């Protein structure tokens, strides 16, 4: 019998909601991790709570709000200093790495997720007497390298190398030859493909929050709002979250 332990990184956005709805359909002992890293758009944390509840996933919210002091060269962690880009064209979004990039955020997130995941797997082996050959361990992250803002930690090579690094530094691999796998099933999808996948998997995307602002309704002008709208338009689908904001406009 295989014991498959999984961590899904759930930010509360469209992509991670879609991924979580895919992961729960597999035979996995799954935990959703949500990080409070001091982000300005804290609305996404409440969205992640609602999504995890809707999907019936055990969720752990980790307070790493100190990280905003370290990764402060970003509009998402230091809004008073760095202005959030708005109204950018597709060409502008695809050029360079914007100030919404949070320094080494996904590197840090993967390390934290791997620590939790390795603990789950080691507990099964060393406390519950599960045979190592029966154990699998996977991190699911909704990175995307097609319709995105050019972040370096959303590219396939990063995840390939990150998986190798985590594996080499883990007891799970060194003693039991079990790799810490990283799965990125959305990485080569367009935003339209992700929207279609969300509908196919009945993902509760009406609860998701993509905006980099923290108002009552999405700003509709930041890069993330632009990419979300583009995805629904190209998929020829209506964004179900819009009905929730009508009374707040």
pLDDT at 134 exceeding the cut of 90: yes
3-state secondary structure 102-124: CCCHHHHHHHHHHHHHHHHHHHH
Sign of CA dihedral 35, 164, 154, 81: positive
Q: How far apart are the first and last CA of the chain?
A: 53
Q: Does 27 have pLDDT greater than 80? A: yes
Separation between Cα atoms, residue 50 and residue 30, nearest integer Å: 17
Please give the residue range of the domain that contains residue 211.
3-248
**Segment 95-99 long-range contacts (CB within 8 Å, at least 24 positions apart):** 95/150, 96/150, 97/149, 97/150, 97/151, 97/152, 98/149, 98/150, 98/223, 99/73, 99/74, 99/75
Q: Are 33 and 19 in contact (CB under 8 A)?
A: no
Least reliable range by pLDDT among 88-97, 99-108, 178-187: 88-97
Give the model's confidence band at 249: pLDDT under 50 very low, under 70 low, under 90 confident, else very high: very low
pLDDT at res. 247 = 52
Q: How far is residue 25 from each of residues 21, 22, 56, 138, 175, measured CA to CA in Å?
A: 7, 6, 12, 14, 30
Could you report the per-residue pLDDT of 170-227, keeping only the tens digit for each? 999 999 999 999 999 999 999 999 999 999 999 999 999 999 998 889 999 999 999 9
Q: Quick one: pLDDT at residue 243?
A: 78
The per-residue pLDDT of the chain, averaged, comes to: 94
Domain total of the chain: 1
Whether 89 has a pLDDT exceeding 50, the answer reads: yes
pTM of structure: 0.95
- The pLDDT of residue 245 is 64
User: How high is the pLDDT of residue 215?
Assistant: 84
- CATH number assigned to the domain comprising residue 138: 3.40.50.620
């Amino acid at each position: 019998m295989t014991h498959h332990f999984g961590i899904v990184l759930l930010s509360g956005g469209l992509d991670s909601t879609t991924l979580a709805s895919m992961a729960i359909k597999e035979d996995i002992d799954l935990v959703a991790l949500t990080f409070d890293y001091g982000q300005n758009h804290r609305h996404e944390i409440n969205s992640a709570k609602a999504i995890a509840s809707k999907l019936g996933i055990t969720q752990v919210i980790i307070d790493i709000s100190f990280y905003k002091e370290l990764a402060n060269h970003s509009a998402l962690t230091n809004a008073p200093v760095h202005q959030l880009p708005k109204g950018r064209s597709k060409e502008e979004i695809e050029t360079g790495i914007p100030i919404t990039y949070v320094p080494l955020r996904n590197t840090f997130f993967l390390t934290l997720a791997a620590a939790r995941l390795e603990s789950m797997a080691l507990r099964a082996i060393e406390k519950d007497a599960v045979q190592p050959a029966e154990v699998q361990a996977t991190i699911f992250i909704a990175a995307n390298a097609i319709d995105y803002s050019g972040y370096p930690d959303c590219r396939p090579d990063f995840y390939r190398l990150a998986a190798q690094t985590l594996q080499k530094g883990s007891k799970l691999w060194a003693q039991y030859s079990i790799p810490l796998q990283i799965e990125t099933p959305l990485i080569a999808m367009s935003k339209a493909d992700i929207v279609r996948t969300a509908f196919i998997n009945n993902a509760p995307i009406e609860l998701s929050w993509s905006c980099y602002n923290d108002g009552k309704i999405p700003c509709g002008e930041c890069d993330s709002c632009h990419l979300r709208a583009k995805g629904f338009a190209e998929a020829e689908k209506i964004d179900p979250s819009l009905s929730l904001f009508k009374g707040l406009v």
